[in-house]
Amino acid sequence: MAELGRAGARRLPLRTVLLIIVFVPSLTFTPLLASGMYQLSSQWRAERAQLDLATETVGRPTGALFLNLQKERRLTAELQAAAEPGVRAQLVKQRAATDESVRAFRALTGLDFANAQEGLAEAVAGADRVLGSLGAERRAVDTGTSTARKAFDYYSGLLQADLGVLTALGHTDEGQVNSRSEIMIDLFWVVDTIGREDAVLARAWKTGRLTRDEYAVVTGAVGTRKHLLESRIMPALTGDELRHRSLMTSPAWNAMVAQEARLATGGDDTSGQVAVRGDAAGWRTSADAVTAQVMDLLALRLENVREVGYGHARMLFVVFISISSVGLLALGLVIFTSWRLTSVLRRRILRLREEAQELQERLPEVVARLERGEDVDVDAEVHLVEPTPDELGELGEALNLASRSAIVTAVRQAEQHRGFQRMLQRIARRTQILIGLQLKKLDELERRHEDPEILEGLFDLDHLTARLRRYEENLVILGGGQPQRRWRRPVQLLDVLRAAQGEVQDYRRITIDVEGEPWVAERAVGPLVHVLAELMENATAFSKPLTPVEVRASPVSRGVAVEIEDRGLGMEPEQYAAANALMKSPPQLDVMTHADDVRLGLYVVARLSAGLGLRVEFRPSAFGGARVIVLVPETLVVERPQESAEPAEPEPRPAATGPRARPQDEAAREDAAVGSGGLPSRTRGRALANVAASPVPPPPGPDSDPDSGSGSARRPLPQRVRQANLADELRTPATPDPNESDEQQLWAWGDRPSRSGAAIGAFQRQSRLRRGDDDTSPHRPNGSPGPGSPTTEDR
């Protein structure tokens, strides 16, 4: 599993990894901050809700209900003591005010007490249940079925339930609010004790006596009030409340205490009840004054509780805002810092990637410059990454080393490739020198011997040597060099085609048809001969031995088009497309990559065509084979040059035995075939060999040598006359340039028109024709190329 996890991490993109680095700390810190903010917010909302409930929503209607119930309790006691119309009117009016308070209070049951003080919802529900029987109790009081004690206890229970709601309102989550609320609840209890005592005495003032239970209620209320004021309330007064410390020494308080003291000295009557002594009006005045003072103190305490509570809520809100702001700022700082650091890291990594991409783009350019032969400065081409003392710095140093190593390797490989090309050219040049010497030696032998058998073998060797010369030129071209064969004057296209035909192994199958008399510029003769020879040999090699290869040339609007068409197997569409693409943009030949490739001839054609500006296109032939169109541009097609006044005569040959003189009629026919330019005129449809071959001599007459015809009816062999049918401008080889090397002079000599393969083929055909009558089987010298021998080159 760990390996799977590491593999998954390695597959993650860099941007994802950096985002994880940024957001993991942020996501870890965010829940903590959110939790703290939520707690503070919840506490603030709860405290604010509790304060609103205590001071406004619940506290105000509950306090109003408390005061109205106290008044209704007292008036109910007075009505039960003496059913006076004035008291009943006051009670009816008070009951209406109490009903308003009850309705306002009972509306609190629909509130949401989620954030309320603990126990408040239960206290409100309990008070609501008790208030539900208020109407029944009033009817009982009105009908007299409820006693004074029962009515007193019922109203006291209502007030106690109401005080329970007020007590629950004081139980907040803040300590100071709780402590101040307790004093406020004690003040409500003080008011309740005064109200209890007032309700009991309201009946006693009418009857003049108190029962023992009523007397106990009065004394208990007095004791509770005194304890609350002396022990709890007065010591806790602060601020504006201090002025109410004089409450227990005020005239109203003293008058009320004096009335209570006279009640204690009243004594019991005969019925066991306590006689009431005192002034009812004075009690009412003093009791109302004391109650007003307590309510004033209660209002101050409520305002104090409100101020402390809302002050604490505001402080809590400020803390919430501060902590939230600081937390959010810290979170933003963490995210910004993480993002900044990861951005710096990402920029540095991207910088390394850009350097690698720049190396990837720069290296092919360097290789292309090296292929063009330019010198490359390694230090100038290597862009070093600034080192830093960390892991990325080590990676940058490794990239610098890789960049330098790649460029150094490319330079070294280019130097090795150029060295290999130079070595290949040097070897090929040396071989070409030997070939040139061989051609020179063959020419000497051809001049020295007149025996037809020997001459045929020499001509075969001459032909093979010409082909070998072309193959050696292929090596030079593939090695980046150029052929050494040069012409100093334009040559007729027909002679160029014949020269190319003479360098083909199975040249007998090639027929040439030239429309008009186009001439080729001198600089294009050698490469064009080479290109056409490669394409002709390719056509003969990949077609059946007995099928012809047709070569047609005709002027077009943009030059001269040469078509070479065979009747072989042809190629696939993909192969045609690949060959045409190769012709349009010849690549730099990688000798090691194409060591086993048999299509090296196509590379040679492509390189030579690109250098001359020839357009070569392969198409399928209607005969099923291939059709190659070579467009010689008009820049390489020239006008016919002016003829020399004294054309060069053929070099004399040594005498030979046997009939060799051509008859006059044949000589006349041969002369008629020679045009104004000194070349045989092309009869449309005739093979090149028939045009170039020497005419057949007539049979020997009766004056001929008897030895020549004894024992055989064989006709005499044709006599070879050098340069008999050669154009005037090609009769005499150009004078060698003293600035040329021996190698170039040898090749210039080897390119004399006398080496035309068409002349060789003509002699061979006539020789076999003369010997064909007596030979039982055709004789082929060992060195003679056969018509079906394929070459090693492919399309």
pLDDT in tens, 266-303: 555 556 677 777 778 888 888 889 888 888 888 888 88
Of 312, 327, 342, the last residue of a domain is 327
Identify whether 267 is part of a domain.
yes
* DSSP-assigned letter for residue 132: T
Identity of residue 684: R
pLDDT for the residue numbered 501: 92
Q: Tell me, yes or no, whether 422 lies in a domain.
A: no
Question: Is the entire prediction scored with pTM above 0.75?
Answer: no
Provide the pLDDT confidence category of residue 771 given band limits of 50, 70 and 90: very low
- Which residues sit opposite 565 in a β-bridge? 550, 627
pLDDT of 779 > 50? The answer is no
3-class state of residue 122 by DSSP: helix
- Quickly count: other Cβ atoms within 10 Å of residue 680's Cβ: 25
Is 28 within the bounds of a domain?
Answer: no
From the list 751, 177, 317, the residue with the least C-alpha distance to 495 is: 751
As a whole number of angstroms, the distance between CA 329 and CA 335 comes to 10
**Domain stops at, among 327, 353, 374:** 327
| Contact indicator for 281, 267 with CB cutoff of 8 Å | no
Other Cβ atoms within 10 Å of 315 Cβ, number: 12
Say if 738 falls within a structural domain.
yes
The angle that helices 280-371 and 175-207 make with each other, rounded to 10 degrees, is: 160
Rounded Cα gap, residues 316 and 318, in angstroms = 5
CATH classification at residue 750: 3.30.565.10
Q: Nearest-CA neighbor of 718 among 674, 769, 755, 757?
A: 769
- The alpha helices in 514-630, defined as continuous H runs, are 522-541, 573-584, 600-612
pLDDT surpasses 50 at 658: no
Q: Are 486 and 467 in contact (CB under 8 A)?
A: no
Could you tell me whether strands 274-275 and 510-514 are parallel, antiparallel, or unpaired per DSSP bridges? unpaired
**Token digits for 435?**
């070939």
Q: What is the pLDDT of residues 559-605, one digit of tens each?
A: 999 999 999 988 999 999 999 999 998 876 555 455 455 567 888 89
The mean pLDDT of 85-90, rounded to a whole number, is: 88
pLDDT of residue 216: 87
pLDDT in tens, 733-757: 444 444 444 444 444 444 444 444 4
Predicted confidence (pLDDT) per residue in 396-437, tens digit: 788 778 777 887 887 887 777 777 777 877 787 778 788 888
pLDDT tens profile 190-207: 899 988 888 888 888 877
Strand partners, 563: 552, 629
Up-side HSE of residue 724: CA atoms within 13 Å toward CB?
A: 23
Q: Report pLDDT for 4.
A: 45
Residue 359 in any domain: the answer is no
| Number of independent structural domains in the chain | 2
Q: Is residue 391 domain-resident?
A: no
**Phi-psi label, residue 442: left if phi above 0, alpha if psi -120 to 50, beta otherwise:** alpha
Q: Are the C-beta atoms of 636 and 520 separated by less than 8 Å? A: yes
**CA gap 569, 719 in Å, rounded:** 41
| Domain enclosing residue 142, as ranges | 42-327
Q: Which of 115-124, 680-689, 692-701 has the highest mean pLDDT?
A: 115-124
In a domain, 396, yes or no: no
Q: What is the dihedral of CA 461, 466, 470, 471, to 10 degrees?
A: 0
Q: Are 111 and 232 in contact (CB under 8 A)?
A: no
Instruction: Give the DSSP per-residue string, 56-120.
Output: IITHHHHHHHHHHHHHHHHHHHHHHH---HHHHHHHHHHHHHHHHHHHHHHGGGGS--TTSPTTH
Q: CB–CB of 704/659 below 8 Å?
A: yes
In the numeric block, which tokens belong to residue 649? Answer: 């005569």
564 found inside a domain? yes
Helix (H) or strand (E) holding 556: strand 549-556
Can you name the residues that pair with 626 across neighbouring β-strands?
Answer: 620
Query: Contact at 8 Å (CB) between 109 and 128?
Result: yes
Residues in the chain: 795
Give the CA distances from residue 162 to residues 65, 105, 131, in Å, rounded to whole numbers and listed in that order: 8, 10, 10
Give me Rg for the CA atoms of the chain: 66
Distance CA 17, CA 108 (A): 57
Q: Which residue, 277, 301, 327, sits at the end of a domain?
A: 327
